[in-house]
Every structure is written in C-alpha cells, then in structure tokens.
Amino acid sequence: MKARILCYDRVLSTQDLARELVTSGVRATMGTVIVATEQQRGRGRHGRTWLSPCGGLYASFILTPDPLLPFLAGVALAQALGELGLCARLKWPNDVLVAERKIAGILIEVIDRCAIVGIGVNIEQAPLPTATCVWAEARGSITRDTLLRSILDNLDSVYAEGILEKYCALSATIGRKVRIELATAKDLKVICGKATGIDRSGRLLIETDEGSHAITAGECIHLRFDRDERDG
C-alpha cells in the first residue's frame, strides 16, 4: 500500500488524530497512516479503553469505506503476524488471537466518507493478564516497523476476491461454542450456541437449541467447559 506515514512517540489516540485530519479539510488524506508507540487515551470497541503502554504498535489507517473492511483488516493483520512466524487466528469479528489470547484489536470508524481503521498490537508487553504480546509468542525479535510494513503489504494484497473464504480459514470462532451479547438501550440480549459459519455479508451464523441466528454486531465470547474467555 502506498501510504503517507506520520509517526509519533506519544499521543492521546491515533484514532482521534486521524479523525481530526479527516475533518480538518486537508486534501488527500486517503492512504494516510498515523502511528504511535504509546497512547494515553487509546480507544477500543464498545467504548472501552485500549491500554496502550510504550512499545506497542498503535496505528490508524485512513481508507475507503467498504462493508467488508472489518474482515479485510482482520485477515491482513492475521496474515502479517503469520508471515512473521506467529499462528494468529481471528475471533469474530476481528480480534486477533495467538494461543487463544488476544494480541491485537481493530476499531473501525467511518467519518466524512473515510474509514479510519485503528489497529493496536501488543508488541513488548501484554497490558492485561488475559492478553499476550508479540515478544512473548515469537521466536525471533519482531520490530514494530517490520510488522507495520507487513500489515501495509497485506492490506494491499487482501483487496481481492475470496476475502470471506480467507477469513473463515483464519477463524478461531467457527466451530466453537460461543455466547453473543447484544446490548440495546434497554437491556442485554444473550444468545448461546455453536458458531457454524459466516454468511456473504459477514454475519456470524449461530445454531442454538431454539433455532438459527445471523449476528451482525455484538460481543462474541468463546466458551470453554469451565470458564468464559473475555477480551484480553
């Protein structure tokens, strides 16, 4: 990907910097990537905080919106980690796991006809005990720059046919027993069942004792016999 890369040491949030760039009226922001080694106010999905200690890879890519972007970004990131020797799998929709623990997350926001794809990868340390990081999982030392270059190359190459097939091949969710939590303004709806696949729109297909569901959005928790596995 031909990108204009803007690098910072410490920022509040690369996602917010990208948003400011998009709304500032500066032309030709498409293809810009904002990268930082530390965030003081990193944001995750569902309004959560993304803990962003020094030494991680925190990047926001300004791209053309596409309904399959959550899957394209997930596949690009998992493939990039795979090329560097890590066995990365995707938890629906696009959390990246290594050895069943979260190593990276993706937050996509659309503003002014631009998609801001925020990618956070734990490199030197895992900020939570339930998470992992690149240095704990990789045999050799992998640098942030190498990983960023590999993500950019993979973002280029996944814009091709068959993205959902590639996504399914990397899925850690399909075939698993899962709990889906759908928060509405009023309450929390919970669906428990087996994840059986992804449809052409990227919806997660769940079979329960009561019937089938196609899930567009929500929190997906992989279930084990004795405990849940929430995000790291």
Binding positions for ligand BTN, rule: CB under 6 A: 13-15, 39, 42-45, 48, 50, 58-60, 95, 105-107, 118-120
CB of 148 to ligand BTN, least distance (A): 12
Nearest CB to ligand BTN, comparing residues 42 and 193? 42
Strand order in the sheet with 204-207: 212-215, 204-207, 188-198, 177-183, 219-223, 228-229
CB nearer to ligand BTN: pick between 45 and 213: 45
Rounded Cα gap, residues 130 and 98, in angstroms: 11
Residue with tokens 């990365």: 88
CB of 55 or CB of 194, closer to ligand BTN: 55
Q: How far apart are CA 152 and CA 1, in angstroms?
A: 5
- In terms of CB distance, is 42 or 202 closer to ligand BTN? 42
Cite the DSSP H helix spans in 84-162: 134-137, 144-157
CA distances from residue 104 to 74, 86, 125, 129 in whole angstroms, order as listed: 10, 12, 12, 14
Closer to ligand BTN by CB, 182 or 194: give it: 182
Question: Residue 142 CB, nearest distance to ligand BTN (Å)?
Answer: 17
**DSSP state letters, 164-219:** HHHHHHHBSSTTSEEEEEEE-SS-EEEEEEEEEEE-TT-PEEEE-SS-EEEESSSE
For residues 194 and 229, which CB has a smaller minimum distance to ligand BTN in the complex? 229
Cα(59)–Cα(11) distance, rounded to whole angstroms?
Answer: 11
Residue with the CB atom nearest ligand BTN in the bound state: 105
Q: Please report how close the Cβ of residue 39 comes to ligand BTN at its closest, in angstroms.
A: 6
CB of 118 to ligand BTN, least distance (A): 3
Q: Whole-number minimum distance, CB 130 to ligand BTN, in Å?
A: 13
Are the CB atoms for 29 and 111 separated by under 8 Å? no
- Least Å from the CB of residue 63 to ligand BTN: 13
Residue 81 CA to residue 74 CA, distance in Å, equals: 11
